[in-house]
Amino acid sequence: MRILFVCLGNICRSPTAEVVFRAVAARESPDMALEIDSAGTAGYHEGEAPDRRTRQAASRRGYDLSALRARVVEARDFEYFDLILAMDRENLRTLERRAPQGTRERLRLFLEFAPEAGVSEVPDPYYGGPNGFEDVLDLIEAASRGLIEHLRRRSQAT
């Protein structure tokens, strides 16, 4: 199972999702074979490490984002990844426009896996205050638990 998390810049939300989901999967379902990656729909920060505020907020919860580097979604990602999870509707729409025929059903909103959160999008924290980074972590931790539960149920059903 290959999972790609997607936001705009790949320096705040999707790298957080990549690392948080990897940690949740390792803890909850260590035997599940997963490949996890993240990318952005825009290339403004290509090659850069995650945003310093994102790294610091993540680090306070025990997640290390320092090794990641931003990259842009490529055509081959749509074929390679089984599940492509957008952080918000705008990025989902961008992905839908770029997705080759037959790959659109791989695209979803990540927060579909956290129905109890009461929101469907992870808000862009880039131009906001420090609370935005904590909100991003809360939402991503909730959706990561929901996603691993979904994958476990699915693997038991087959």
Please confirm, yes or no, whether 124 is among the known catalytic residues. yes
Task: Tell me, residue by residue from 4 to 23, as one string, x for binding to ligand 4NP by CB under 6 A and - for no binding.
Answer: ---xxxxxxx----------
Please confirm, yes or no, whether 7 is among the known catalytic residues. yes
Q: How far is the CB of 104 from ligand 4NP (least distance, A)?
A: 21
| Contact call for residues 5 and 73 (beta carbons, < 8 A) | no
Q: What are the backbone angles phi and psi of residue 91, rounded to the nearest 5°?
A: -70, -35
H-only helix segments in 5-74: 13-28, 52-60
Please confirm, yes or no, whether 12 is among the known catalytic residues. no
Q: How far is the CB of 26 from ligand 4NP (least distance, A)?
A: 23
Q: How far is the CB of 86 from ligand 4NP (least distance, A)?
A: 10
CA triple 79-119-13, angle to 5 deg? 50
What is the distance between the alpha carbons of residues 96 and 73, in angstroms, rounded to a whole number? Answer: 12
Which of these ranges, 40-48, 74-82, 93-101, 141-149, lies near ligand 4NP under the rule CB under 6 A? 40-48
Q: Is 151 helix (H, G, I), strand (E, B) or coil?
A: helix
> Residue number with the shortest CB distance to ligand 4NP?
9
Q: Indicate whether 114 belongs to the interface with ligand 4NP (CB under 6 A).
A: no
Tokens standing for 33?
Answer: 């074979």
Summarize as ranges the residues that interact with ligand 4NP (CB under 6 A): 7-13, 40, 44-45, 124, 126
